Amino acid sequence: MSLTSLWRAATQHRLFWPVAALVALLVINVPFTPGFFEIHLKNGHLYGSLVSIVLFGSPLILVAIGMTLVIATGGIDLSVGAVVAISGALACLVVSKQADQDSVAGVLLAFALALAVALVCGAWNGLLVARLGIQPIIATLILMVAGRGIAQLITSGQIITVNSDAYSLIGGGYWLALPFSLFVVALVVVLSMALTRRTALGLLVEAVGGNAEASRLVGIRSRRIKIMAYMFCGLCAGIAGLMISSNVSAADGNNAGLWIELDAILAVVIGGTSLTGGRFHLGGTIIGALIIQTLTTTIYTIGVPTQTNLVFKAVVVIVVCLMQSSVFRAKVFGARAKRRGPAQKSPGAAADAAPQMEVSS
Amino acid sequence: MSVIDGFRTRAEGLRLLQDRRLPVLVTAGLFVLMFGFGAFRYQSYGFLDAQVFMNLFIDNGYLLVAAVGATFVILTGGIDLSVGSVIGFTTMLTAWLVEKQGLPLLLVAPIALGVGAFGGYLMGYVIHHFEIEPFIVTLAGLFFFRGLCLVISKESISITDPTVDRLAQTHVPLPGGSFLSIAAVISLAVLALAFYVLHYTRFGRRVYAIGGNEQSALLMGLPVAGTKIAVYTVSGFCSALSGLLFTLYIQSGDPLHAVGLELDAIAAVVVGGTLLTGGSGYVIGTLFGVLVLGLIKTLIQFEGTLSSWWTKIATGVLLFAFILIQRTMTGRRRT
């Protein structure tokens, strides 16, 4: 195979542009942070910028994986942020009530309770969407509004702090010199990939997302698939909630997981999963989540004022979406003979060259 | 589906369920019920004082304006998530221009309104011409405007300008000794204007037509593009106006003002009986939606022992109940 055809094959792979964007973002950091790629071993733990990107990005990766499956069924889940808050609040409450906060059994009980509630939240969303036929945005909006209230109800409006080494392992601890959360994320990723790509489940999810009615007529239990997707999303959000609360050893019903649903949706879109459903790419989602986390880190390290973080994200969202819109591509790139016509949404859009080409649909 | 026994009651039930005014009536009834409950329970605390009722408008005027804008968008079957951010941005921009740049409010207000309307226009343009889901475009708008708030300043700016102060303190006296604030009067005027536009102008009929069926509206020769973009422009304008009213109400600009207010606005519209699929609903229902949400807050204040998070839970429960009602209505009509 010649080099050019190899290059063409690489660029046409749907993960090429997301990966390229991620690498570009990482490389941008080097001139600002010498030794950005260095990883040290200190006290038996690995330290370094890359490790912290993965560590702080793991809740987002988890939530985004759950979101990918929900979006693949043609839905969306706005309530993940609230579920993150609920699960963290509940786990912290259970742990803080125990006499011996370090007891492993007590912490495991707290985890089990929190994850069970997260599953119930997911099932509630799934029932509203699949059984009652409510639009997903609206159905999950209910829990998004009420869920924050429930989380504050659990914590009685306070920030519950816990003092438990066992509890802080999942979100901030280390195991085998690596962040423990990395293992949790890896487990969830491997499980979900195996379940969706090694069994027919992934195909069924895509069939339901492509056309729920048609897939029902073929004999797929589309409702059940949808409910399962929402439950899985709830579970992922629940684990993410445990991580976030464990990382700071506290539960804050108001601010835990605030806006994580937006970041998760963004990660899914960057990863090449279309919001219309019917297709999903878990690998792309993980890279999308890493891109967002790296973007946040980069903004901190290169000295761009942190307050522009949100503006930056907005520009990235809109550019990625414009690139995915076939109409936009036809209007702008299809007719180069004409002037480069339709106005771009934001003034900064042109400057942002790297993530521009996530055209994988 | 056969809960109702007897053919005749079923037919009557069907007719009642198909009446498009039903959700508005239910919401109005709910408001009266809740108010009656409050009057009964907190009689000795002066709940029946006319001013308590007027305070509903004073405390929720900005929400009413934002919800009226959201009504336009939802009637076309779209959604606008940028409402809260535009409000926050407007408070920031106003506070910054008035306090730090020393511009008179008379000049700042049109600038703020213009910026909001232009933001809405851009979002509408992208939504319509590039066929991207309104949800994702306005989500980007949410990020963008909230980010712009922080770009202006990370700290809150309190407003000490005498004009703003005077406007905020002015009481519009009403018979019976109660009063309204200027913001409340403006919000009611906006409601009246929206009612006129939606029900008595061509533009209003187009909004309903597009929400009913965009394809048919296009085939009828209605200017779908212009109307859809205009609807988002209206929403942006209303959000900016709501931001100005909020500035008057709170007399400061803060990058965290009105976080999540878009959800309150959408909830008010839904509780007010507007179908989220578009094409059906009344802006007067939105008024009742806002009043019901406001009344929940008032009741919780009067109760005293309940904490503020019950507001969120109650809003969620109400939202659920009304979506169920909508679901039964549309389900019956389709089959």
Q: What is the CATH number of the domain that holds B147?
A: 1.10.3470
Contact A275 B131 (CB under 8 A): no
Q: Residue B7 domain-assigned?
A: no
Contact A187, A62 (CB under 8 A): no
Contact: A342, B133; criterion CB under 8 Å = no
> Class assignment of domain A43-303?
mainly alpha
- Per-residue pLDDT of chain B (335 residues), as tens digits, is 444 455 556 666 666 666 777 778 888 888 898 888 888 888 777 777 888 888 889 889 999 999 999 999 999 988 898 999 999 999 999 999 988 888 888 899 999 999 999 999 999 999 988 888 888 888 888 888 988 888 888 888 888 888 888 888 888 888 777 888 888 999 999 999 999 999 999 999 999 999 988 889 989 888 999 999 999 999 999 999 999 999 988 888 887 777 778 888 988 998 888 888 888 888 999 999 999 989 988 888 887 776 777 888 888 888 888 888 777 776 554 43
ipTM over 0.85: no
Strand partners for B252: B158
Q: Which residue has the higher pLDDT, A260 or B69?
A: B69
Name which residue leads in pLDDT, A97 or B196. B196
- Domain of B265 in residue numbering reads as 20-328
Residue B7: the pLDDT is: 52
Q: Which residue among B130, B144, B309 places its CB closest to the CB of A327? A: B130
Is A112 a residue whose pLDDT tops 90? yes
Whether B141 contacts B118, CB under 8 Å: no
- In degrees rounded to 5, what are phi and psi of residue B293? -60, -40
B313 and chain A: CB distance < 8 Å anywhere?
yes
Which residues of B fall within a CB distance of 8 Å from A346?
A: 144
Based on C-alpha coordinates, what's the Rg of chain B? 21
Q: Look at strands A174-175 and B179-181 and give their pairing.
A: unpaired
pTM recorded for the entire structure: 0.80
Surface of B (88-127) touching A: CB under 8 A: 122, 125-126
Cβ-defined contact of A307 to B126 (cutoff 8 Å): no
- Identify the three-state secondary structure at position B255: coil
Contact criterion met (CB < 8 Å) for A141 and B277: no
* Residue where the block lists tokens 């979002």: B123
DSSP-based three-state secondary structure for B258: coil
Closest residue by Cα to residue A154 from A255, A234, A86: A86
* A339 pLDDT more than 60: no
Q: What is the mean pLDDT of residues A214-221?
A: 86
Residue A338, pLDDT > 70, answer no
Higher pLDDT, A3 or B273: B273
Count of structural domains within chain B: 1
Q: How many CB pairs under 8 A join A and B?
A: 135
**Strand-pair partners of A159:** A252
Asked, for residue B214, whether it belongs to a domain, the answer is: yes
Which three-class secondary structure state does DSSP give residue B253? Answer: strand
| Position B13 in a domain | no
Residues 6+ apart with CB under 8 A from B65: B186, B187, B190, B238, B241, B242, B245
Would you state the pLDDT for residue B186?
A: 92
Partner A contacted by B267 (CB < 8 A):
yes
**Cross-chain Cβ contact B147/A313 below 8 Å:** yes
* Average pLDDT score over chain A: 81
Residue B187 is predicted with a pLDDT of 93
Predicted local confidence at residue A355, as pLDDT: 38
Q: Answer whether residue B3 is part of any domain.
A: no
Residue B335 lies in a domain: no
CA–CA separation, B70 and B283 (whole Å): 10
Question: A149 and B310: CB-CB below 8 Å?
Answer: yes
| Pick from A148, A311, A315: CB nearest B312 | A148
Instruction: Please say whether the dihedral angle defined by the alpha carbons of residues A304, A306, A307 and A312, taken in this order, is positive or negative.
Output: positive
In chain B, residues with a C-beta closer than 8 Å to the C-beta of A149 are 309-313, 315-316
Q: What is the pLDDT of residue B174?
A: 81
Q: Is the pLDDT of residue A244 over 80?
A: yes
Mark yes or no for CB contact B316/A146 under 8 Å. Answer: yes
Q: Do B147 and A322 touch (CB under 8 A)?
A: no
Answer whether B306 touches A (CB < 8 Å).
no
By Cβ distance, the residue of B136, B148, B316 closest to A142 is B316
Residue B134, domain member (yes or no): yes
Nearest to B105 by CA among B232, B253, B212: B253
Q: Shortest Cα distance from B249 to chain A (angstroms)?
A: 24
Helix (H, G, I), strand (E, B) or coil at B274: coil
